[in-house]
Structure 1
Amino acid sequence: MENDNLNKLWDIQTNDISNFNPKEIITKAKKQRNSQYISITVMSLTVMVLIIYAFYYAFSQWNTFNLGLILMISSLTFRIALELFFLYRKEKQLISMAQKAYRAYLKKYYKARQMINYVITPICVIVYIIGFYLLLPYFKEYFSQAFYNYIVISGILSLIVVIAIIINSTIKEQRFLKQLNK
């Protein structure tokens, strides 16, 4: 994405419809895109670790442990695919649209993100939790009590942190949508 091209395109137009100037919109878009990249990276690393573990240890026989791993992997993979789809779709639109059209597009984009934030993400989190829950009996059987407690506590704390990050980003997206609607 070229800032110069965007600035030239938007400087040609009148700015009377916007509460933001082009630089502010570009800054907000970059900040959100960077946070999406971080989310995608963290989820991708988690999926890679789960896949490596699954192929190295788990898939010798089918059981609920494997089902739990598949649920965790599939929920994260689906969420990664959604994030990538929305990220690149938005970037493509940003480069090709004028300011007024892009502002209208952003409103539609963030309304679509609301569905992801309030419907799809909770479903993915629930599927991930179910997958983790299915792993716990195997962890309890094969690991020491201390390590099992560590897994449970760190798993719960990690999930709480991830949910807090999701809620925080959802609130930021809501604020930005409200600003766009002014």
Structure 2
Amino acid sequence: MENDKLTQTWNWQKNTPPMTNPDQIIKKAKRQRYEQFIAITVMSLAVLILLSYTMYHLNNSWNNFTLGLVLMISSLTFRIVLEFVSLYQRENQLISLDNASFKKYLKKHHKLRLIVNYIITPVCFIVYIYGFTKLLPYFKQWFSEGFYTYILISGAVSFLVLAVIIVNNILKEHNFLKQLNRK
């Protein structure tokens, strides 16, 4: 049974046409642009929420709570900046290059995106989780046991869902690069 699924997957990959049509490439690039805007919007909302929470609970002393919030905000802000740079750099190239040159540029761009996906994104994710864990002792002290348990469970579920989304997006970009490399 597993052999049949494997054979089907290989046959599907063989039959998947390479991306040589300019309309296919543009359509895929627009879809990725849309997804990047969604990611930027979600991360920006998270930064705004964290900033407002920081302003509300800001005190004049530096402690692990402040460190945790700063780590969370800085990791998200760094990812937002990376997404904007990546997005607008690609758009500038789209306007200035012909189809063949843009396809070559896309290959190079997506190889760089793999570095972002496999190195920078996990580091930012780990920093964000570390910042969150710095907040937990304060949450335990300030909130009831039930609400603290809710924060732990919802935080763990949120991180799990976020990890699945990140892995899914990495796989999509990796598959897009494979399609671009086929001729």
Same fold (TM over 0.5): yes
Structure-1 separation of matches of 2:90 and 2:148: 42
Structure-1 separation of matches of 2:25 and 2:181: 14
- Which residue is equivalent to 1:34? 34
Q: Within 5 Å, which residues of 2 pair with 1:1-182? A: 19-182=19-182
Stretches of structure 1 that go unaligned for 5 or more consecutive residues are 1-17
Runs of 4+ with deviation above 2 angstroms? 58-61
Q: SS at 1:62's partner residue?
A: coil
Structure-2 separation of matches of 1:90 and 1:167: 22
Structure-2 separation of matches of 1:30 and 1:162: 23
Aligned-pair CA distance for 1:174: 0.6
Aligned-pair CA distance for 1:89: 0.4
Q: SS at 2:56's partner residue?
A: helix
Q: What RMSD in Å do the two structures reach over aligned CA positions?
A: 1.0
Greater alpha carbon shift after TM alignment, 80-89 vs 49-58? 49-58
Structure-2 separation of matches of 1:143 and 1:26: 50
TM-score (norm: length of structure 2): 0.88
- RCO greater where, 1 or 2, for CA within 8 Å and sep 6 or more? 2
Structure-2 separation of matches of 1:158 and 1:19: 35
Count of aligned pairs between the two proteins = 165
8 Å CA contact 1:58–1:65 kept in 2: the answer is no
- Which residue is equivalent to 1:5? none
CA gap of 1:36–1:70, structure 2 versus 1, over 3 A, is same
Give the percent of matched residue pairs that are identical in Structure 1 and Structure 2.
56
Aligned-pair CA distance for 1:57: 1.1
| Counterpart code for 1:126 | I
